[in-house]
Structure formats: structure tokens, C-alpha cells
Amino acid sequence: MASLSTASTASSFGGPPHGGAAAPGTDRPASSGATRAWPPRVRRASPASPVLAVLVLVGCDPAPEASPPEDRETAEAVEPGRPTPSRAAAAPSRPDEYAPAPGAPWVRRDPATVGMDPYLLGEAVEYALAHETTEIPEDPGVYLRERFRGLPDQEIVGPTTDRGGVSGMILRDGYIVAEFGDTDREDMTFSVTKSYLSTLAGLAWAAGLIPDLDAPVSELVSDGTFAGPRNGAITWRHLLQQTSEWEGTLFGKPDRADRREGTDRTLQPPGTFWEYNDVRVNLLAYALLQRLKRPLPEVLAQEIMDPIGASDDWRWHGYRTSWVEVEGTPMQSVSGGGHWGGGLFIDTEDHARFGLLALRFGRWGNRQIIPAAWFTLATSPVDIHPGYGFMWWLNTDRGLLPAAPASAFMAVGAGWTNVIYVDRENRLVTVTRWLDGPQHVNGFVSRVLASIGVRERPSEAGG
């Protein structure tokens, strides 16, 4: 395994853009790349009241048409012999769908112009605002410490920060039709980070850095992290599907620290047992760092977030114990969640942009940022756990959100308090922050879906 630094240098909230901290003993980002110029933030005016109700706008400009993207290979062509993709992976729809250009204002639409009832949509917003989580206090660090108090290896080793109140956004056809709360506040997002990590794996796969998802990781990461009969048999697909059963210690955290299906259970052969385990998710982040040879926040910014026009004030943190050297350069291996602190600290609008990218099979305007085939793979059910894909939750058989289509998929964090909901059947993306659990996320989604069905009408004068 690569050498690990356990220096006590804590991650800096005011550190370099996107990276969690400066390299130990420095004030610069740990990066092998050149310094980059970060684009300015496009901010919305503050609302007149704390609650932004449904936006009923007229006179909006019509959506610009985009050139058709290049032909895309199907997942079957890229990955022969793999399981049939889920329903969520239907063929991409119109190539001229609206997406906000980087640096341009995000167009808002009267809900009725995209087939939604403004009154019923307002009820969905009011429902969300009335159901703030009671499980996670204002300081999520308190929640983490109390939840795991008395258990071994549960020290918080990454940063935490106070959270805001309920916030959210609703998109249809790429347009903002409703937003509420403070959508510009960067909060911890916990395991929603995993879906971003999965998408970075798609970048590495598209670039040929992971030629075969079913090949052992040890063929490409040969530093001893995947040594031995068990760990040596683990494939990239196993890591992405959370079926790896990896055994060991990473950054001071043994895998048994998050064995949610039984601390002392007998481990099974890789690929035969599903377990949600943050140590093994962090292992995927470490393996991707070894392949990309650049800090993952830098890759995410340059290859995904900047092209979709995201802000420049999100951060992706690792642990004070997760510094490694990659070809002689110190880099922090980031975490895939907030179990021990760290992960993505990001605002609601940036989540909505990422959700729209997923809705469109990795396409933004006329640019294919992530191969469409990757999103087909990523939203295909795990054979032994059909409610999960490549670190996306799937609504297979409507098992997670009964009100939603079976084709819907989600990025989910901290007991459903942070959710990006993606619904291709209804051309819909919603983001909710700090709702009180899955039952209220389902209640919110059911009300949003109930608003769909009014006769679509064109924009008023000027559009």
C-alpha cells in the first residue's frame, strides 16, 4: 500500500478550490497539475423572504437548440455479455433539450409551461418545508459522534460543518420550476458523494484507464492494497457495486469498522455479498487516485463541474490520515461519504446540475461529458441487490420510493436527508436537503408527480 501520512494537519475549510486541504506543511493544493483559473460564481439575488415559493415566471426566453450529439455506443457494445440494463437506461431523448450554459443564468419557467400545476407544486414545496429532519442536529458532527459512541475505530478524522435548513430545487425539462430554502449554501452531503465518485470512475473507464471493469484491480493498482487471494480477486465492478468484501485497514480505518451486516461475520467471496461499507468506498477513491494520478476534486472540477457551470465554492474533503504520495507528489485521497467526516460540501444548485447531467445520460447541451453507456451501466441493478447500481440507488420494483416510477434512481446521503432524485420518465430532477427520512422524501416526490399533467402551454409574450 502507498505510504500514508498521519500528520495532524486538519483539512482547511478555506483551503484551495475544491480540494479538502493543502498538502501537509504547505499552503497550496496537493496537485500534479498547473494552477487553474476558477470561473466566477453566478449568483441569484436573495429572496425577499426566507422561503422561495414556486416560481411562476412569464416572458422567459425559449430554450436554445443544441446540435445533436455524436452517436453513442450502447452499453451492450461496450460491455458485451453484461446484464440487461435497467428500465432507467432507456434510449436518450431529444438532443435539443435545454441545459444552462456555463456562466449564463439558469432559465426559470412558469410550471404550467412545462406541464405542471403551480398550486400543486406549491403544496409539494410546503410539504418539504414542514418536514425538516429531527435526526441530524445543526452540527452533524454531534450526530456522527453520538451515533457511533462506544464503537471501535469511529474517531472523526475529516472535517464537519454546521448544516442549514431545508432546501431544494425542482427541474423539469432542464428548467427551474421551483426552489426553496437557501440553495446557495454549501453543506455536507454525506453519501451523495458516492454517486459523484461513481461518475469519476466513468471518466477513468472512458479514458481507457480502467479497460475492463471485470479485471482484478490488482492488475492496475499493484502497491499491495489488493494483495492476497481474497483482495486480489476484487474487480472494479465489485468496488462500484459494493460487493468487494475487501479485508484490511485503510487510512487507520479497518473494514470491520463499517461492516453493517455484522462485525464478526464470515466474509464471502468477492461479488457474492452486498454490504454498504465506507472503508471500501474510500478504497475505490484511492484506487481511482492511483489511476488518474491527479487529486479527484481537481478531476471532478475540470472534467465535470466546470463544463456544467457549477460554482467554484464546493469542496471535497478527505481525512487528516488520508495523505498519500502519487509519483512523488503528496495528494489527499478523498472520502466517499461523511461517516468519519469529510466528503463533498456542496450547494443545492450544484447538486441539481449534476442530477440534470445524470438525467441526460452524461450530456450537457451538445457536449457528451460522460459516455451515455456509462450511465446505463451505473443504473443497472446489482444481481444480488437490485436496489443498487454503481453507487446510485435504484427504485427497482418501486421498492425505495413507492410513489415514483420503477425507473427512477437517486443519490442518497445520511438517511435520506440529502437526495438527488432523477426521473427520466417524467423529465424531472429534484434535490432535497435535510428532509426527515425516506417517508417524507416519498411524500414530497408524490406531490411533485401529482402536479404533472396540466395541459402544457407555450411561454407568454417574449418567449
For residue 430, being part of any structural domain is answered with yes
Inter-residue contact 283 to 226 (CB < 8 Å): no
Contacts made by residues 407-411, CB under 8 angstroms, sequence distance 24+: 407/86, 407/87, 407/88, 407/90, 408/88, 409/88, 409/358, 409/379, 411/191, 411/192, 411/194, 411/195, 411/196, 411/351, 411/354, 411/355
pLDDT of residue 24: 44
204 and 309 both lie in a single domain: yes
328 and 371 both lie in a single domain: no
179 and 245 both lie in a single domain: no
367 and 446 both lie in a single domain: yes
CATH number at residue 320: 3.40.710.10
**Number of folded domains in the chain?**
2
Range of the domain at 295: 194-334
| Residue that finishes a domain, picked among 291, 309, 334 | 334
For residue 327, being part of any structural domain is answered with yes
Inter-residue contact 428 to 104 (CB < 8 Å): no
For residue 198, being part of any structural domain is answered with yes
330 and 234 both lie in a single domain: yes
Which of 33-37, 411-415, 447-451 shows the lowest per-residue confidence on average (mean pLDDT)?
33-37
Inter-residue contact 280 to 255 (CB < 8 Å): yes
Which of 56-65, 289-298, 358-367, 447-456 shows the lowest per-residue confidence on average (mean pLDDT)?
56-65
| Residue that finishes a domain, picked among 309, 334, 359 | 334
306 and 216 both lie in a single domain: yes
Helices (H) and strands (E) in the chain — how many of each?
11, 16
SS (H, E, C) 249-285: EECCEEHHHHCCCCCCCCCCCCCCCCCCCHHHHHHHH
For residue 58, being part of any structural domain is answered with no
104 and 125 both lie in a single domain: yes
In tens, the pLDDT along 300-326 reads: 999 999 999 999 999 999 999 999 999
pLDDT of residue 261: 76
In tens, the pLDDT along 213-244 reads: 999 999 999 999 999 999 999 999 999 999 99
C-alpha 321/C-alpha 8 separation (Å) is 8
pLDDT of residue 397: 98
For residue 442, being part of any structural domain is answered with yes
Return the DSSP state at 168. E
C-alpha 267/C-alpha 143 separation (Å) is 29
pTM across the whole model:
0.82
Question: Between the CA of residue 44 and those of 49, 106, 183, 349, what are the distances in Å?
Answer: 14, 9, 10, 11
For residue 456, being part of any structural domain is answered with no
Which of 38-42, 58-62, 213-217 shows the lowest per-residue confidence on average (mean pLDDT)?
38-42
Angle at 284 between CA 281 and CA 288, to 5 degrees: 150
| Residue that finishes a domain, picked among 307, 334, 361 | 334
C-alpha 430/C-alpha 417 separation (Å) is 13
